[in-house]
Amino acid sequence: AVWLDVPAAVKGSHSRQGTSWIRSAEAKAIASQLKEWMESEHGKDLSYGVISFYKAQADLIRNQFNKQFDTSKLKIGTVDSFQGMEFDVVFLSMVRTMPRNIKAITKEDKEKTARRLFGHLCLYNRLNVSMSRQKKLLVVVGDHELLNNDLAKEFIPGLVDFYKKCKKEGVVLTCK
């Protein structure tokens, strides 16, 4: 279990591209870590998958590679395109970050606020698919601050638990 932390303060914050979301800081962090591992002695024979909930983010990550890798060992796509597939190592790009200007949350708008903050991360079945495609290693890439609140504990508990597991038993890497 690995968490690749890309704090909101890192240049390349998330933004909309049409109806989709992108976060260039995550795309760069994933490309850098993936390149390092794919070229390493231990990682050269492994298969890799990179999953995002947003097509624009998957496209952005794909463009980071400029066809420099063997695509038989690397697949980049959305959660839906990974249904039924497995890879030795899977990177999951969260895209979402904790906004600086978050308002006080009331009980009446809790669900709406959670959907606004977490987007597709709130969809249990999609999160389950995205977090179960790895044979050996899952690397979640994102802003850990998004998980430090009661809304996250209620609406995306799987990610909260995964981050805690990484801190306790796995590894937390900081974006390069």
Residue-wise pLDDT tens digits, 17-45: 667 889 999 999 999 999 899 999 999 99
pLDDT of residue 12: 54
CA distance 76 to 86: 12
Neighbour tally for 116: CB within 10 Å = 13
Highest mean pLDDT: which range of 1-10, 18-27, 102-111, 162-171: 162-171
For the record, the structure tokens of 34 come out as: 């993936």
Bin 67: left if φ > 0, else alpha if -120 < ψ < 50, else beta: left
